[in-house]
Structure 1
């Protein structure tokens, strides 16, 4: 595994909530974090059908545009009673003609669970795959996940995405009800970053 000794890292995302999570997770290691918006980068089209494939697209695009190392994640919610959906299409379920609306996405999850006829509790998993890419083409891949179950109606205002309906295993609050510090210690992204630590060279 290559050690990351640089001090600047582009997080290949336009998602402000995700960027803040990464900033909180990486700043203690002396890494200065910027996002796609800081560099005026467009959002590349995610054409792969796996988390790692889509993360690679985003990381490579950011490296090519900035000449800096970049970290991208592709993450999503896998609902067991929906055969793993939305999975890699997690963000797609939130797409509208005027941007992403995750309330609509969560309503779709609830509607499809009701249509399935399967009883609660509905187990689910948040997954995150990180791709760390360097300008010379080298890449490292890190995976993390957190198990839990879904609740309805939505609860909490502190998170983003599907956080208001996801309760991690061993807890009673949704991710959107937790303080950011608590969530960051439990999340699928934090668990992937724990593996990333091994190459941070700090």
Structure 2
């Protein structure tokens, strides 16, 4: 895979920076799909894997390049895995609204029933009709607090408590988060799999 260009099926600049850093050993240049005016596609799959494949396939079809897509979210045990694939749109009111809705949905639920995990699925497709896309999944265990803590991170990070660190994901040092998060785990698997293909 030397000197190849891969399109990231996202316009998120933070995600682009993070994945470019992770994939640096491969001599791959990752470009945002925004550079190619890839239209957004409906994420109407029933799982993180399906949604990531939908996004990667659309980016590969539009650009003619290999594509990487990720789909990620939060699963809460008490809510039978919700918000899951709907994590970003849980309340329809952005991060603050999503966190407020999660706290409402878990009102009065004791700590031991507030287990949760972040999930991240990364998909790599060599071309739009790739019959065997590379699928890498990482998860990150925690529990949901009764009130937000910390200013860092994004999404549900202020409510996502990590027992081993005694703090929320929003209070965690960014360098540590980038080493232990669900996206870090999935990215490490993707890097290892792509290195085998070189």
Question: TM-score under structure 2 normalisation?
Answer: 0.88
Long gaps (5+) in structure 2: none
1:170 CA displacement: 1.3
Long gaps (5+) in structure 1: none
Please name the residue that 1:178 is paired with: 172
Q: Post-superposition, which runs of at least 4 consecutive aligned residues in structure 1 deviate over 6 A?
A: none
CA RMSD of aligned residues (A): 1.9
Please name the residue that 1:34 is paired with: 31
2:146 paired with 1:158: no
Verify the 8 A CA contact 1:51 1:128 in the aligned structure 2.
yes
Please name the residue that 2:102 is paired with: 109
Q: Which segment is superposed worse, 36-45 or 189-198?
A: 36-45
What count of residue pairs does the alignment treat as equivalent? 193
Q: Which segment is superposed worse, 177-186 or 12-21?
A: 12-21
C-alpha change, 1:94 and 1:70, in structure 2 (3 Å) is: farther
1:14 CA displacement: 2.4
Please name the residue that 2:110 is paired with: 119
Q: What does residue range 93-108 of structure 1 map to in structure 2 within 5 Å?
A: 93-96=90-93, 101-108=94-101
C-alpha change, 1:154 and 1:38, in structure 2 (3 Å) is: farther
Match of 2:140 among 143, 146, 159: 146
2:185 paired with 1:191: yes
Q: Distance in 2 between matches of 1:156 and 1:36?
A: 32
Question: TM-score under structure 1 normalisation?
Answer: 0.86
Please name the residue that 2:126 is paired with: 134
Q: Deviations over 1:34-65 (max 9, x none)?
A: 22222222221001111111000000010011
SS in 2 for 1:128: strand
1:105 CA displacement: 0.4
Q: Which segment is superposed worse, 103-112 or 152-161?
A: 152-161
Q: Which segment is superposed worse, 15-24 or 44-53?
A: 15-24
C-alpha change, 1:6 and 1:70, in structure 2 (3 Å) is: farther
Verify the 8 A CA contact 1:27 1:33 in the aligned structure 2.
no
